[in-house]
Amino acid sequence: MKKSLLLAIVSCSAILIGCSKIDPDTPKEYFTQWNSCESLTALQEYVQDVTNPSSVNYIKPEDRIATFDMDGTFVGELYPTYFEYNLLEYRVLDDPAYKDKAPEDVRETAQEIRDFVRNGTKLPDHFDMKHAQAAATAYAGMTLAEFDAYVKAYAAKPANGFIDMTYGQSFYKPMLEVFKYLEANGFTYYVVSGSDRFICRALVEAIGIEPNRVIGMDVRLESSGQGDEAGVNHTFGKEEDLVRTDELIIKNLKTNKVLQISQEIGKIPVLSFGNSGGDSAMHNYCMSNTLKSAAFMLIADDPERDHANREKALKLGEQWREAGYYVISMRDDFKTIYGENVKTTAFTF
């Protein structure tokens, strides 16, 4: 009788355990923050095709390279301008530890950002380069650890124009799901941004992106102990730090993105994600791949959940489609952008 009871218990346990298991054939739901849409369908069909060993378009895991712009692609950029612009404005015009030390040309650049933000004054032509030079100067002398802490401290401030969100929390939640989906399907993704590499590293650390997968604007670094010696003549000491200099190496925009991808990754991507004309070169490089490739552009067309110019965004959407890119509509394709608790509000100055 005891044997019969034991068999019954074992059989019942097996049934209960079997019922609690997840069916291995049930696909994981990666896209809970997306609406059903053309762009998402295109991405899923692409991934399913190139990861299928029976497909003529099969891509080996080592060649599944994806590149992502940062600002406006998976991080907010409309508060009311780029994070790195806001940071420079604060550093030069408001930071009590630096504002009285800023050179005149750096102060002029920061003031141009402030006038743009507060008054709508048009930024000068080629301002990207002017900002890059000014930023190189403004942070020169900081060790990498000091700069990382400085960026994170500013990122912890409330994001201008939003309620219940800091700058460091301003990730597009649907795009974070894209990262997880690609990783689960054997892709390696890189952040390729026009922003300072070390600003990008500080921001994306929170979502688990390793620093060696971040490419951005670069300044020359030096050892704290090398003085006037060239690096090739100096031996780094255990007690030394790496320090930022005021020498700009590269502003990572347009074709420079392509050059840096080639230099640092060494392979042509098969997937590319961006949101502006500065990403078109990177997209075109991706689409030149002999392997099956695809490029996606986000358009900021949601003036309710973000600070956006819908009319301008829709015109850009037409332009991107004509260029052969898939268009992601933040208004139509995203169930949420930053999270349901985050609301837009008027900018404060």
**pLDDT(287) > 80:** yes
Beta-carbon contacts of 114 under 8 Å, excluding residues fewer than 6 positions away, are: 89, 93
**Going along the chain, which residue ranges are E strands?**
65-68, 162-163, 188-196, 214-223, 242-250, 271-274, 294-299, 326-329, 343-344
**pLDDT(120) > 90:** yes
Of 299, 26, 89, 69, the closest CA to residue 193 belongs to 69
Q: Which residue has the tokens 């923050």?
A: 33
pLDDT band at 27 (very low <50, low <70, confident <90, very high): low
**pLDDT(29) > 90:** no
Of 113, 78, 70, the closest CA to residue 203 belongs to 70
pLDDT band at 264 (very low <50, low <70, confident <90, very high): very high
| pLDDT at 331 (0 to 100) | 98
SS3 content of the chain, % helix, strand, coil (to 5): 45, 15, 40
In this predicted model, what pLDDT tens digit does every residue of 75-96 receive, in sequence order? 999 999 999 999 999 999 999 9
Task: Give the amino acid at 228.
Answer: D
Beta-carbon contacts of 283 under 8 Å, excluding residues fewer than 6 positions away, are: 272, 274, 295, 297, 323, 325
In percent, the amount of the chain with pLDDT more than 90 equals 91
> Averaged over 99-128, what is the pLDDT?
97
Alpha-carbon 145 to chain mean position = 21
| Residue range(s) of every CATH 3.40.50.1000 domain in the chain | 38-78+165-218+247-341
| pLDDT at 24 (0 to 100) | 43
In this predicted model, what pLDDT tens digit does every residue of 298-331 receive, in sequence order? 999 999 999 999 999 999 999 999 999 999 999 9
Q: Cβ(106)–Cβ(134) under 8 Å?
A: yes
Classify domain 38-78+165-218+247-341 at the CATH class level: alpha beta
Measured CA distances, 182 to 34, 61, 170 (Å): 15, 11, 21
Of 185, 192, 184, the closest CA to residue 267 belongs to 192
- Average pLDDT for the chain: 93
Q: What value, to the nearest 5°, has the Cα angle with vertex 67 and ends 66 and 69?
A: 150
Length of the chain in residues, anyone?
Answer: 349
> Averaged over 236-260, what is the pLDDT?
98
Secondary structure class of 335 (helix, strand, coil): coil
> Averaged over 227-256, what is the pLDDT?
97
Secondary structure class of 55 (helix, strand, coil): coil
pTM: 0.91
Is 329 buried (19+), middle (13-18) or exposed (0-12) by CB count in 10 A?
buried
In this predicted model, what pLDDT tens digit does every residue of 13-26 receive, in sequence order? 433 333 333 344 44
**How far is Cα 273 from Cα 296, in angstroms, rounded to an integer?**
5
**How far is Cα 89 from Cα 110, in angstroms, rounded to an integer?**
5
In this predicted model, what pLDDT tens digit does every residue of 127-169 receive, in sequence order? 999 999 999 999 999 999 999 999 999 999 999 999 999 999 9
Alpha-carbon 180 to chain mean position = 14
Secondary structure class of 283 (helix, strand, coil): helix
DSSP conformation letters of 104-172? HHHHHHHHHHHHHHHH-PPPPTTHHHHHHHHHHHHTTT-BHHHHHHHHHHHHTSBPTTEES-BGGG-B-
